[in-house]
Structure 1
Amino acid sequence: MFICIKHGDNQQFLANIHCSVLLLMHYLRAKVGLERTDPIDLCEENGTLKLLFLVKFPEDSASKFLTPRVVYYVCKVERGVPGTKHEHGYRAFHPVFNNPPTDLLDSLRNQCDFLEKSRLKMLKSQDGKKPPTMESLLSSMAGQVVAQGKSTGKSGASLSSGLDEEGIPRKTTAAAKARLEASRRDKHR
């Protein structure tokens, strides 16, 4: 099961897709003269990206994602500048092919825009759903138990519920207890 890879100045070669995605990507980088760390992908002649650089399990067979006897172009994936807030963003897909057709470039540009918008939308939806930290859970739980003990007048009730006399879970580390005590002192000031 082979595919045809076009690159450079109308150069082409065959690649066997009966291997892992990772192995195929390493082979393609070596054949077209790219660095081992350059993120790449393949696109069909109409510009449809295969998104192999996003494959969750790179040990999966490349034949799951690619069709035998089809012509593909190698594309470099341009991400944001490392160390900036846009480092994981999608900036562009550049075909490693001299004088690519404009419809291919337009298709790659549209897909890049769509991927970036989807990435930002996913990040935005995750912002509102951040799970509470362990410290905030412990302090709110301790505050509720202490308030409950004061309202019922029972200080020993917390002992039977798995909490110590201060309203802190018994298995809490000494460092967590110290942080909780400090936050309580700050609240009472």
Structure 2
Amino acid sequence: MFIIIKHGDNQEFLVNSNCSVLLLLHYTRKKMGLRKTDTIDLCDETGTLKLLFLTKTPGDYASKFLTARNIYYVCKVERGAPGTRIENSYKAIVPLLKYPEPELLESLRTQCDFLERSRIKMLRTLEAKRLAAMESSVNLPARSPKSGGAQQTTSTSSQLKVGDQMKTGHLLANHSIRLGQTSLRDIVNSIKRPSESSNYQEITGI
């Protein structure tokens, strides 16, 4: 499976796309005398980039992204200055043609702008997630190592209070019974009549 790569002043060469993306890009750089560090990509005749330089699996076959017998142009991807905050930014995507069509240039310019906006959006999203994680970690309540002991002490104290209340309740109940019996006896004795004393003793046993 071969593709046609055009560059310069209508120059071209054939490339076998039945190889890895990494090998195809390496061969293209060597064929055109580019540096190994140059970032390049291929676009079709309409200017649509294949984004081979962004693939996460450069070992995949290039035929997965390219159509056999089609014509492709080599494009150089210009990024920010190395070692700076914008080293990963997209500055321009330039077709390596001597006389590129205006429509081709406009298409590549639009795609370059889109890549840069997507990059900035991703950076902002990651920054927002990082700040949210930091805020959540700061707002977490501190756990006291003595909380278990405090709970145990509170529980023991509550048990003691309940026991005391039960004992007090029993004492009050017994005292009330004795008071009730005494009051009943006093009331009965106060309403006894001398003539009825013997009969009342037989009935009440008092």
TM-score clears 0.5: yes
Amino acid of the structure 2 residue aligned with 1:47: G
Cα deviation, residue 150, structure 1: 5.0
Unpaired segments ≥5 residues, structure 1: 156-189
Tell me, in whole angstroms, the C-alpha distance in 1 between the residues paired with 2:34 and 2:84.
Answer: 24
Are 1:91 and 2:91 an aligned pair?
A: yes
Cα deviation, residue 149, structure 1: 3.1
Q: Do 1:8 and 1:32's aligned partners in 2 also have CA atoms closer than 8 Å? A: no
* TM-score scaled by length of structure 1: 0.73
Amino acid of the structure 1 residue aligned with 2:150: G
Partner of 1:15: 15
Tell me, in whole angstroms, the C-alpha distance in 1 between the residues paired with 2:127 and 2:107.
Answer: 31
Amino acid of the structure 2 residue aligned with 1:79: R
Cα deviation, residue 8, structure 1: 1.1
Tell me, in whole angstroms, the C-alpha distance in 2 between the residues paired with 1:125 and 1:90.
Answer: 18
Partner of 1:115: 115
Amino acid of the structure 2 residue aligned with 1:53: F
Tell me, in whole angstroms, the C-alpha distance in 2 between the residues paired with 1:154 and 1:19.
Answer: 69
Partner of 2:77: 77
Alignment of structure 1 residues 103-142 onto 2, 5 Å: 103-130=103-130, 132=133
Amino acid of the structure 2 residue aligned with 1:144: A
Map Cα deviations across residues 21-76 of structure 1 (whole Å, 9 max, x no partner).
00000000011111111110000111100000000010000011111111000001
Higher CA-based Rg = 2
Partner of 1:153: 150
SS in 1 for 2:143: helix
* TM-score scaled by length of structure 2: 0.67
Tell me, in whole angstroms, the C-alpha distance in 1 between the residues paired with 2:82 and 2:52.
Answer: 21
Are 1:144 and 2:142 an aligned pair?
A: yes
Amino acid of the structure 2 residue aligned with 1:72: Y
Map Cα deviations across residues 83-136 of structure 1 (whole Å, 9 max, x no partner).
221111111111111111111000000000001001111111111112747xx9
Aligned residue pairs total 151
Tell me, in whole angstroms, the C-alpha distance in 2 between the residues paired with 1:113 and 1:132.
Answer: 31
Unpaired segments ≥5 residues, structure 2: 153-206
Tell me, in whole angstroms, the C-alpha distance in 1 between the residues paired with 2:49 and 2:146.
Answer: 61
Cα deviation, residue 153, structure 1: 2.1
Q: Do 1:4 and 1:14's aligned partners in 2 also have CA atoms closer than 8 Å? A: yes
Q: Do 1:74 and 1:95's aligned partners in 2 also have CA atoms closer than 8 Å? A: yes
The structure with the greater share of residues assigned to helix is 2
Tell me, in whole angstroms, the C-alpha distance in 1 between the residues paired with 2:87 and 2:66.
Answer: 28
Q: Do 1:77 and 1:94's aligned partners in 2 also have CA atoms closer than 8 Å? A: yes
